[in-house]
A and B are shown apart, each in its own frame.
Chain A
Amino acid sequence: MLMHLPVLVVLAPLLAAPIVALMRGATWPWLLSTLVSWFALLCAVLLLIQVQAEGVIIYTMGGWEAPWGIEYRIDFANALLLVLITGLASVVMPYARLSVEQEVGAERSPMFYAALLLLSLGLCGMTATGDAFNVFVFLEISSLATYTLIAMGRDRRALTASFSYLVMGTIGGTFYLIGIGLLYVMTGTLNMADLAERLPAISDSSTVRTGFAFIVTGICLKLALFPLHLWLPNAYTYSPSAVTALLGATATKVAVYILIRFVFTIFGPEYSFGAEPLAEVLIPLAVIGLLSASTVSIGQPNIKRMLAYSSVAQIGYIVLGIAMGTAMGLTAALLHVFNHGLMKGALFMTLGAVMYRMGGTNLSDMQGLAKTMPLTFWAFVIGGLSLIGVPLTVGFVSKWHLILAAIELGWWPVVIVILAGSMLAVVYVGRVVEAGFFGEARDPTRREAPASLLIPVWILIFANIYFGIDTRLTVDIAEAAAAQLMAGGVVR
């Protein structure tokens, strides 16, 4: 069975999803989805161990060799990401039961869990596959699931949020598809490894350049790079809490991974940063996005929306790391992909607990939280500190590496931007903490959130601290992954 691990991560939820959809009530669909996501996590962890022990894993689907068949190819970068996705899904699923019961309702639960499974399997599929067209297929699966999930939000604005994401997401997907099509015309292959081999010979053709531009733009839409981020704040704000947690922690990260895959593995760093002005395009956008989104988040009355804008800003850090085009910058970007997943997952889930008890996530709902819901409040404080990048949290580790990478290049203005972003985070997190700490609770009789919400939240908070202290696992893997990626092409 061990040799089938790469496909099991995707296949298990794929098989379970229709069964879940056919079930009745809320409990059984929830139970099955939870078990399946735990199984997927187990597979992902085993995969990571296997990659560490044996190097790159190549799995040919149905025994059909590439380029005729589809191959899955697991190296350090996507093994780490698979652990993040399945890990987040494994804490979100148990958490979802109460929160979904309240926000979505029992009768729609089977559909909800089925869509959530499809979302996570779509993300896993995009990550695991070594076939550029297969990426598109999974991209569509995860996107369609996302549109459905967002629309299930309690607020009626969820419908327009879902619709505008549908329009934007489809444009992004189409751009990607056009880019793949152009590359296929030129190379006759869709396999990433083959693309990487054949592209250098024809790299000065304008078709390839156009393909590159379409692909990068399409992916940047999905990863919400400023100014293509407009779909994100509404989508995150109006989705059910469990969906926001999973989306915020993983969805944009997978798009980041696809970008990294194309820039470094398929086109190669020499082409992307040498022949194409990728750095010149990405750096200004990342910097503007980072600063503007952080500034905008300060004024948000709805904390969920505030964190959504913060996500746009954090994407800026990650894209900065990628755009540096160095091993150190890439390490920082990969670290922040993982670490930001942990912190945003934790924070959005904390807000879900607030939503469950207070019925909203506005600043006014956070007033006096330190007294009424201390465990929820302190979870938010620790998550917030991690977002700022205070030592002993994961946020510090990634920010450290990002600044180190910028200093290595002598990019002092970028160092200042990164630090300014942290300062803005102090302000927007501080605002909520101050309200929770000093504010008068609207209704002092509200109690702490139930354990089934708090335990998953605190598991993630614990992970935020654990990986902030013991960085061996994350930093080593990120460094190894960056080294693999910087080598360009595909490691055989």
Chain B
Amino acid sequence: MTANTALILTLLTPLLGAVLIGLTGRWPNLRETITMVTALSLFALVIRVLIGLNAGEDIGVELFEVMSGVGIAFNTEPLSILFAMIASGLWVVTSVYAFGYMRGTNEINQTRFYVCFALALFGAMGVAFSANLLTLFIFYEVLTISTYPLVTHKGDAKAKAGGRTYLGILMTTSIVFLLPAIIWVYAVAGTLDFVPGGILEGNLAAGSATILLLLFLFGVAKAAVMPVHKWLPAAMVAPTPVSALLHAVAVVKAGVFTLTKVVIYIFGTDYLASVPYESIAVYMAGFTVIAASCIALRQTNIKRLLAYSTIGQLSYIVMATMALAPFSEIGAAIHIAAHAFGKITLFFTAGAIYVASKKTEVTQLNGIGWRMPYTMAAFAIGALSMIGVPPTAGFVSKWFIIAGAFQLDNYFVLVVLILSTALNAAYFLPIIFNAFFKPEDVKLKDHGEAPPSMVIALCVTASLTLLFFFFNGPVLDLETQLVGGMP
């Protein structure tokens, strides 16, 4: 199989999986087997593309032309393969987790759930491998629409309200800001292809470029830079596997991934550095980091706390990308991976706690560490990664982002990072402390760990968070290609 075939199959596999899952809805075991097989084969295919990329194969497929000069086309580069690896790899783990969660909570409409999940992965793969902005936009919308039934899964008034906010913000911003931004690029550059070094230089007046940048920054609401972040807490009404894979990994990373792609391949870092007031994007993201952490401090619901933590962490990536130093671009790319491992672990533990004990609030977690030792140990690892303490994944990326800040003498970034570390510690450490060292308040219900499939899944992602600290060499090598080698 050539890498190009594999590339096309990464899109067809989840689509075919969705159809088969839909057809086998009446037999839950068969349905879940198909989900698993689809997830595994998707991961294998992405690895095949990675091998092709590393071997220097010429990878690129154009399916058909939609507008003159722009078609539906796919290719790959270091950033996209990283995103695809994370999304497809963690889908395997999440599927294992979801089987336990969905059965453990007796959810309704499970077939629809798995179908939409597969479709969301189809969207994520399309976003990852798109070779131009039009293709990216199409799959970006696929991702939005396919996750709407997942967010509103419960179907009650709260879920509907959450779904409305979710779809409302994501759709509005993508149509009102992102789409005109894309058409504007097309109007001035005549192309939408992702080209290293960008396509805008010399095509756009300096002042217009600032507006265009802001259109992208707020048009890609999936990156959740304030004030277009509200959809993410709203999406927390979804079942936890959705929050874990989609709203900590696939959907939100599609957002920051899009922004990074736009910075590197549409504007080009050199051109963007010459755009006046470019640093406004850095300040916006920096503000989001601090503001989201402050809001997270005051949250009592575990999932909402994690959502605000995600908003802050996403803006790390945006801030690093927009800082435009070579090290910070690398840091941004690595943080896509590092945050994914840590945050999915945290969501897995939140879901495990819910399934085992029906607890949803931070204040209820006193002493739970001894009932659910694996879960809470994993929580601790995930939380440490959020803070950025070695030996966890979060430390690696933070290292590069700080190195980038020093490269440019950008002390704003530095101060934001230090403050945010302190705030993260302030809302995560007490939870860990209380879980292990405070006595249980009231004996509500005797419980142990969640079902084994969930515990296995969260142990796997927690180990990944640790392992990434020690074995990040291949990822680093790959991502340094983004800035043309280690600076």
**B40 within 8 A of partner (CB):** no
Residues of B within 8 A of A389 (CB): 175
Q: Which of A391, A407, A420 has the most CB of B within 10 A?
A: A391
Contact with B along A193-233 (1 / 0, CB 8 A): 00000000000000000000000000000000000000000
Q: With A390-B145, A404-B187, A438-B155 in contact, is A472–B137 under 8 Å at CB? A: no
Q: Which of B138, B171, B175 has the most CB of A within 10 A?
A: B175
Of B59-67, B268-276, B364-372, B384-392, the segment with at least 4 beta carbons within 8 Å of chain A is: B59-67
Do B137 and A438 touch across chains, with their CB atoms under 8 A apart? no
**B374 within 8 A of partner (CB):** no
Contact with A along B159-201 (1 / 0, CB 8 A): 0100010011001100110011001101100000000000000
A259 to B184, CA, bound (A): 30
Do B183 and A390 touch across chains, with their CB atoms under 8 A apart? no
Do A423 and B67 touch across chains, with their CB atoms under 8 A apart? no
Do B67 and A407 touch across chains, with their CB atoms under 8 A apart? no
CB distance from A241 to the nearest CB of B (A): 28
CB distance from A332 to the nearest CB of B (A): 12
Q: Which residue of A lies closest to B155 (CB)?
A: A438
**A403 within 8 A of partner (CB):** yes
Do B138 and A392 touch across chains, with their CB atoms under 8 A apart? yes
CB distance from A430 to the nearest CB of B (A): 7
Residues of A within 8 A of B145 (CB): 385, 390
Q: With A404-B183, A415-B180 in contact, is A391–B138 under 8 Å at CB? A: yes
Q: With A404-B186, A438-B152, A438-B155 in contact, is A475–B180 under 8 Å at CB? A: no
**B77 within 8 A of partner (CB):** no
Do A407 and B64 touch across chains, with their CB atoms under 8 A apart? no
Residues of A within 8 A of B72 (CB): 469
Do B160 and A471 touch across chains, with their CB atoms under 8 A apart? no
**A276 within 8 A of partner (CB):** no
Do B187 and A471 touch across chains, with their CB atoms under 8 A apart? no
**B440 within 8 A of partner (CB):** no
For chain A residues 428-445, which have a beta carbon within 8 Å of chain B?
Answer: 430, 434, 437-438
Do B65 and A430 touch across chains, with their CB atoms under 8 A apart? no
CB distance from A410 to the nearest CB of B (A): 10
Q: Which residue of A lies closest to B156 (CB)?
A: A438
Residue of B66, B152, B172, B186 near A426 (CB, 8 A) is: B172
Give how many A residues have a beta carbon under 8 Å from the other chain's beta carbons.
28
CB distance from B179 to the nearest CB of A (A): 7
Do B183 and A419 touch across chains, with their CB atoms under 8 A apart? no
Do B175 and A471 touch across chains, with their CB atoms under 8 A apart? no
Q: Which residue of B lies closest to A423 (CB)?
A: B172
Residues of A within 8 A of B68 (CB): 475
CB distance from A368 to the nearest CB of B (A): 11
A414 to B275, CA, bound (A): 26
Q: With A391-B141, A419-B175, A438-B155 in contact, is A471–B66 under 8 Å at CB? A: yes
Q: With A390-B145, A426-B172 in contact, is A403–B64 under 8 Å at CB? A: no
**A129 within 8 A of partner (CB):** no
Do B160 and A403 touch across chains, with their CB atoms under 8 A apart? no
A397 to B251, CA, bound (A): 25
CB distance from A167 to the nearest CB of B (A): 39
A397 to B172, CA, bound (A): 18
Q: With A407-B184, A423-B175 in contact, is A469–B160 under 8 Å at CB? A: no
For chain A residues 393-430, which have a beta carbon within 8 Å of chain B?
Answer: 397, 400, 403-404, 407-408, 415-416, 419-420, 422-423, 426, 430
Do B175 and A426 touch across chains, with their CB atoms under 8 A apart? yes
A420 to B176, CA, bound (A): 7
Do A438 and B65 touch across chains, with their CB atoms under 8 A apart? no
A403 to B137, CA, bound (A): 16
Do B187 and A408 touch across chains, with their CB atoms under 8 A apart? yes
For chain A residues 366-396, which have a beta carbon within 8 Å of chain B?
Answer: 385, 388-392
Residues of B within 8 A of A392 (CB): 138
Do A407 and B180 touch across chains, with their CB atoms under 8 A apart? yes
Q: With A389-B175, A391-B138, A471-B67 in contact, is A419–B167 under 8 Å at CB? A: no
Residues of B within 8 A of A472 (CB): 65
Contact with A along B28-61 (1 / 0, CB 8 A): 0000000000000000000000000000000000
Residues of A within 8 A of B141 (CB): 390-391
Do B183 and A407 touch across chains, with their CB atoms under 8 A apart? yes
**A470 within 8 A of partner (CB):** yes
A408 to B179, CA, bound (A): 15
Do A438 and B160 touch across chains, with their CB atoms under 8 A apart? yes
Residues of B within 8 A of A426 (CB): 167-168, 171-172, 175
Do B67 and A403 touch across chains, with their CB atoms under 8 A apart? no
A397 to B168, CA, bound (A): 22
CB distance from B143 to the nearest CB of A (A): 12
For chain B residues 382-404, which have a beta carbon within 8 Å of chain A?
Answer: none
Q: Which residue of A lies closest to B168 (CB)?
A: A426
Do B64 and A469 touch across chains, with their CB atoms under 8 A apart? yes
Do A400 and B67 touch across chains, with their CB atoms under 8 A apart? yes
CB distance from A416 to the nearest CB of B (A): 8
Residue of A391, A397, A403, A470 near B180 (CB, 8 A) is: A403
A415 to B175, CA, bound (A): 11
A31 to B393, CA, bound (A): 71
A300 to B7, CA, bound (A): 46
Residues of B within 8 A of A403 (CB): 179-180, 183
Residues of B within 8 A of A423 (CB): 171-172, 175-176
Contact with B along A451-474 (1 / 0, CB 8 A): 000000000000000000111100
New contact pairs (15) apart from A390-B141, A415-B180, A426-B167, CB-CB < 8 Å: A388-B175, A400-B67, A403-B183, A404-B183, A404-B186, A404-B187, A408-B187, A419-B175, A423-B171, A423-B172, A430-B167, A434-B160, A469-B64, A469-B66, A470-B64
Could you list some 12 contacts between A and B, CB below 8 A? Answer: A385-B145, A391-B134, A391-B137, A392-B138, A397-B66, A403-B183, A416-B176, A419-B176, A419-B180, A430-B164, A430-B167, A475-B68
The 3 closest A-B pairs by CB, nearest first: A391-B138, A407-B187, A419-B176
